[in-house]
Amino acid sequence: MRSISRRWMTIPAAVALAAGAAVSVAQPAAAVTYTFNAHANAVQTTGLLGVTVAGSDYVGATPGSDSTSVTTPSLPVVGSVGSASSLAEGTRVGALDTAHAEVSLTDVDLLSLPLVGTVISVDSIESTVTTEEVSDGVRDSSGGAQIEGLTILGNAIPDPNVSQDVSLGGLGTVHVNYVDDNGSSITVHALWIETTIGPDIYVGTAATSLT
């Protein structure tokens, strides 16, 4: 009987090795995730008898929010506020995180003193801040305060939306539109009142960070 060659059934060694070799596939790096930190207060004082009006706070690893709204809140000793509201939130779009905070006040009168009257009055305040992840692992912050009708010791402040310090003489200093921004976090005080007669008073405060 004629012999039939079976060489066509032989698989070359190189092909066998390639077929059996493990295939390595590069995996994409995991996206950076942050903890949201967002805080907003209409009015806050320091010291043992500290007062907070219309405070909202959100801290968490997942998106969420907190909000508050009040009318004619109690503000003993410090003064009075017509209305106040605040919002603190963390959001995520795709893989990018954003922390946001805002606060608004109307009809603010602070530090009424004998023979002086109302030391500081403001028609309205709106403070807004945002810390956002602009790309994976890269953060940026922005914000400020919009102040209308600011009067200090009876004198109208012509441009309260520019950061400036106003002296209260022996009573202390008012820091107007104070901003502390380092990129990954930001804090805004529409008014930061450093007094020599009592605790500091913060008005229209909003702060955010991604940590």
What is the structure's pLDDT at 21? 52
Bridge partners (DSSP) of residue 85 are: 69, 104
Residues 147-194 pLDDT 10s: 999 999 999 999 999 999 999 998 899 999 999 999 999 999 999 999
What is the structure's pLDDT at 8? 44
Residues 22-50 pLDDT 10s: 555 555 556 788 999 999 999 999 876 68
Residues 63-94 pLDDT 10s: 999 999 999 988 887 899 999 999 999 999 99
- Sign of the C-alpha dihedral computed for residues 126, 108, 186 and 93 taken in this order: negative
pTM of the model: 0.83
Q: 171 φ, ψ to 5°?
A: -85, -20
- Sign of the C-alpha dihedral computed for residues 184, 190, 195 and 201 taken in this order: negative
Q: Are 144 and 161 in contact (CB under 8 A)?
A: yes
54 pLDDT band, cuts 50/70/90, is very high
User: How far is Cα 106 from Cα 75, in angstroms, rounded to an integer?
Assistant: 14
